[in-house]
Structure 1
Amino acid sequence: MNLIALFPVVLIVIVLLFSAIKILREYERGVVFQLGRFWKVKGPGLIILIPVVQTMERIDLRTIVMDVPSQDLITRDNVSVKVNAVVYFRVVDPQKAIINVEHFYDAISQLAQTTLRSVLGQHELDELLSERDKLNNDIQTILDQQTDAWGVKVANVEIKHVDINETMVRAMARQAEAERQRRAKVIHAEGEQQAAQKLVEAAKLLGADPRAIQLRYLSTLTEIAGDKNSTIVFPLPIDFIESLIKRGDAS
């Protein structure tokens, strides 16, 4: 009869012992509160708590990968886009992560969403597409400053996708095509300019000595004869034609 009466007491003692023993993994820490007040951070390994008097909150110290949902934003040049990102962070101060903020994961998620919209909305679409590294660093710096009071270190931020509507994609394609045509015309004009400069230099060299013109004339005849054409065009030097015209005028 005495054993039956002691059974509930023994059961309560066993339950209290199991609740007092905690095992923390290598990457975990326990924030211990004693009568509601912060006591210390313990772990890893075997932790023994005083039942009822002490309670513990587990904190994971590993790097957490958080996916930021797609955010609708308008860039500085009034283009509507959808952007999502990934944030890498970890807890460096378990005490601050538990005491200074409620549910630090949700808090960082909301902060990352608002910061993403705020920072990217200050830039134009071209910057958003071509300067991702700079924008990633700007967002990471802002998040890291805000979360420092929460005992959290934001290690990296990466913009994943920038979704643009089809109308804007077609407009960008037309703009790119126009830009390629402009570059082609500029390159062609520069080529004509360089060719003209070379021709002027060649003319000055040939005009410096009349024998150079004769040699060039004979070289041209050799090239024509080598084509094996049935019709041969025999060019006359312009100087020769001018001399004939002058003689005709003199007579």
Structure 2
Amino acid sequence: MELLGDFGFYIPLVLIALIFLMAAIKILREYERGVVFTLGRFTGVKGPGLIILIPFVQQMVRIDLRTIVLDVPTQDVISRDNVSVKVNAVLYFRVIAPDLATIQVENFMQATSELAQTTLRSVLGKHELDEMLSERDKLNSDIQEILDAQTDAWGIKVANVEIKHVDIDESMVRAIAKQAEAERERRAKVINAEGEQQAAQKLLEAAEILGQRPEAMQLRYLSTLNVIANERSSTIVFPFPLDLMDLVKSSKPRV
């Protein structure tokens, strides 16, 4: 009975020691850091590995340093040409200064998410719909630079921003299709006109070359007759000299 009484005296002390050790010893993983406060004042960043705190005097806030993937909710955006679209994006960032991420902002995850949403609406609202669809790389870079500059004071590094979807109203899709069709028709007409212009230029150059010697025109006539004969055509073409036409016109009596 006396032995049990002695052990009963030490049991509370052992429990207190265990609780003290559990509160004092902390283990941080390789990707974690601990922001330590002593009596409410910031005293440093510790980790990774085993660290020892003074219970009830020091407190620690764990911060994850791995890259965080944040899905930016769908935002209603009105483009510069007054087209309403729905846009969502994904944001990649990580904490590079655990002390700033803990002290300078209450909840860096929520703060970064809200900032990403407002920046997405602000940047895309300055561009037209065609730019949103064709220049995503440039828009991603612009949004990333703005977010990185604004979150630098929070100890956060924004590595990348990617616009995932740009959803357009069905009526606007039909309008864009008509615009694309009209653009293709315009290009076809321009290409056809450019071809006619180039052909006319070549014909003019050929006429200038043939006009230098009358014999060249006669040889051209004979070459054309040879081509027609080889095609087994029933049409017979007789070349009519232009000089003879001028002679006939000049011989007509004037009234």
TM range (shorter): over 0.9
Alignment of 1:42-61 (within 5 A): 42-61=46-65
Q: Does 1:21 align with 2:25?
A: yes
**Which sections of structure 2, spanning at least 5 residues, go unmatched?**
none
**CA deviation map 1:16-71 (0-9, x unaligned):** 21221111111111101111211110011111111111111111112211111111
The match for 1:78 is 82
**Paired residues for 1:63-212 under 5 Å:** 63-212=67-216
SS at match of 2:30: coil
- How far off is 1:205 after superposition? 1.1
Question: What residue in structure 1 maps to residue 42 of structure 2?
Answer: 38
Per-residue deviation, 1:131:
2.0
Tell whether the 8 Å contact from 1:217 to 1:237 is kept in structure 2 after alignment: no
What is the letter of the counterpart of residue 189 of structure 2? Answer: K
**Is 103-112 or 17-26 further displaced after alignment?**
17-26
Where 2:234 maps in the other structure, the secondary structure is coil
| In structure 1, C-alpha distance between the alignment counterparts of 2:237 and 2:182, rounded to whole Å | 44
* 1: CA distance, partners of 2:227 / 2:74: 69
Shift of 1:5: 3.9
Hey, what's the Cα distance between the residues in 2 that align with 1:231 and 1:184?
Answer: 35
Aligned AA (2:21): L
Give the whole-Å Cα distance in 2 for the aligned partners of 1:196 and 1:239: 24
Aligned 8 A contact 1:136 1:157 in 2: yes
- CA–CA distance in 1 between the matches of 2:249 and 2:171? 68
* Number of residue pairs the alignment of both structures matches: 250
Contact 1:31 1:56 in 2 (8 A): yes
Tell me the CA shift for residue 79 of structure 1: 0.5
Q: Deviations over 1:68-89 (max 9, x none)?
A: 1111111111111011111111
TM-score by length of 1: 0.93
How far apart are the structure 2 equivalents of 1:124 and 1:226? 60
Aligned mates of 1:205, 1:230 — CA distance in 2: 31
Could you list the runs of 5+ residues in structure 1 that have no partner in the other structure? none
Q: 1:224 aligns with which of 218, 222, 228?
A: 228
> Any idea what SS the aligned residue of 1:155 has?
strand
Q: Name 1:3's counterpart in structure 2.
A: 7
Identity %: 70
Q: Distance in 1 between matches of 2:45 and 2:250?
A: 110
Pairwise CA distance, 1:218: 0.9
Give 1:233's aligned residue: 237
